[in-house]
Amino acid sequence: MICHPSEVLPAPQAMRVTRFGDPPTVPTRSPGRRSVTKRAVVRVTHASVGATDLTAIRGKYLLQPFPRFVPGYDLIGTIEHLGAGGHPRLSVGQRVAGILPRMGAHATLLSVAPSLLVPVPDGLDSATAATAPLDGVTAQFALDALDTTHGPILVQGAGGAVGGWATQLAVARGLTVFGTASPRTRQRAEALGARVLDYRDPDWINALVEATGGGVVGAIDHTGSRELHRAVSPQGRIVRIAFDGTHRHPQRATLAGFVSATLRRHAHPSERVCSIPLIVAARRAAYRNTLSAVLTDLTTGALLPPRVHEVRFEDYASALTDAERCVPGSKAVLAMP
Ligand SMILES: NC(=O)c1ccc[n+]([C@@H]2O[C@H](COP(=O)([O-])OP(=O)(O)OC[C@H]3O[C@@H](n4cnc5c(N)ncnc54)[C@H](OP(=O)(O)O)[C@@H]3O)[C@@H](O)[C@H]2O)c1
């Protein structure tokens, strides 16, 4: 017999944003809305908090959910229930990781498609595992989208969350990595193997072009800067993971950047957009393989995680403050009750 989770488990709770700019501080009861017949019910134990959550809570995210949404894209948890038919890779009681195609992970219990979940390797603790799904998978797909085996490449924000993973992954592939960072994150970027340029130096692109003898062959970027075309050789490629910039209207800037990058698909240098929510929705098997590989590399020590700053679910406000402060080399992770 298939039981609805609310019949057998404590009431699920979620951090719900009811008004943009007004972060939730108290969890609210979260009734399961979808049938669990073919789904997995996951007791969430850990979930990361990052830049995308902060943007969405402000109401400035391109894939902006409507008010009453629950932030959070990725999670670690335990399978409480598997719907009819089960799933060959999964079993009840198993520890799993996943990224959702739409936000909603900052909750204690989720009903999700089993195809979103991969096992967490034994030997990897859940809080550490929680640092990896969204940021690590973004970095890996962005690097793959550069489609280069020789480098040198540029990673913007190499001391940041996604940039830190991208730098490590690229160095592990034997690529020379130039990374941008302010003095605040410089040390972190260098420790991961990047040759650092300060993005606040108006001359940094000229310095990069000179150091590389004509520009890098690929760049992973979250700023949307058009100046970056000068930093990349004509046959090279820019992969945009965001279009943050300093624009007063970030959603408009992101939409414009998305269109511009799509139109530049065959330009010199070419551009690609890497959006993990879209990849999770459209390329499920590739997403799962990449997430599994990142978790395996974390377990073997081939990839180094950021320092976990674990925050109780009930202290959500301080998790957001921590994510905002963005201490170099540290990641805010919610620990559910
Ligand atoms: N495409 C996707 O699916 C996807 C997935 C995850 C995240 N994202 C997006 O990717 C972006 C980065 O996320 P994150 O979690 O890595 O953020 P993060 O940890 O805050 O890192 C951002 C980094 O960017 C650096 N930075 C700030 N201004 C810069 C500039 N003008 N030029 C170059 N670097 C600059 C910062 O360095 P300093 O601290 O030294 O200033 C910081 O290290 C966010 O917009 C996020 O929403 C996209």
Each residue's pLDDT, cut to its tens digit, for the chain (337 residues) gives 333 444 445 678 999 999 999 988 888 877 554 556 789 999 999 999 999 999 999 999 988 999 999 999 999 999 999 987 668 889 999 999 999 999 999 999 999 999 999 999 999 999 999 999 999 999 999 999 999 999 899 999 999 999 999 999 999 999 999 999 999 999 999 999 999 999 999 999 999 999 999 999 999 999 999 999 999 999 999 999 999 866 677 888 889 999 999 999 999 999 999 999 999 999 999 999 999 999 999 999 999 999 999 999 999 999 999 999 989 999 999 999 9
Residue 250 beta carbon below 6 angstroms from any ligand 1 atom:
no
Q: CA torsion angle for 295, 296, 298, 301 (degrees, to 10)?
A: 180
pLDDT at 35: 57
The number of helix segments (H) and strand segments (E) in the chain equals: 11, 15
Query: What CA–CA distance (Å, rounded) separates 259 from 240?
Result: 11
Full set of structural domains in the chain with CATH = 5-131+305-335 (3.90.180.10), 134-277 (3.40.50.720)
Which one-letter DSSP state was computed for residue 69? B
Cα separations (Å) of 226 from 111, 117, 124? Answer: 41, 37, 40
Query: What CA–CA distance (Å, rounded) separates 329 from 165?
Result: 10
pLDDT at 5: 41
Which one-letter DSSP state was computed for residue 21? T
pLDDT at 249: 79
Ligand 1: atom nearest CA of 245 is 31
Determine the distance separating the centroid of ligand 1 and the alpha carbon of 157, expressed in angstroms: 6
Q: Which residues pair with 271 in a beta bridge?
A: 238
Residue 185 beta carbon below 6 angstroms from any ligand 1 atom:
yes
Ligand 1: atom nearest CA of 246 is 31
255 Cβ contact list (under 8 Å, min separation 6): 62
HSE-CB at 27 with a 13 A cutoff on CA atoms is 21
Determine the distance separating the centroid of ligand 1 and the alpha carbon of 306, expressed in angstroms: 15
pLDDT at 238: 98
Ligand 1: atom nearest CA of 159 is 43
pLDDT at 34: 54
Residue 327 beta carbon below 6 angstroms from any ligand 1 atom:
no
Query: How big is the CA angle at 203 (ends 197 and 206), to the nearest 5 degrees?
Result: 85
Strand ranges, E, within the chain: 13-14, 28-29, 40-49, 74-82, 95-99, 109-112, 117-119, 153-155, 177-180, 195-197, 216-221, 232-240, 270-273, 307-312, 330-335
Query: What CA–CA distance (Å, rounded) separates 337 from 335?
Result: 7
The number of residues in the chain equals: 337
Cα separations (Å) of 171 from 64, 182, 202, 297? Answer: 34, 20, 26, 14
Helices 133-146 and 161-172 sit at what angle, rounded to 10 degrees?
50
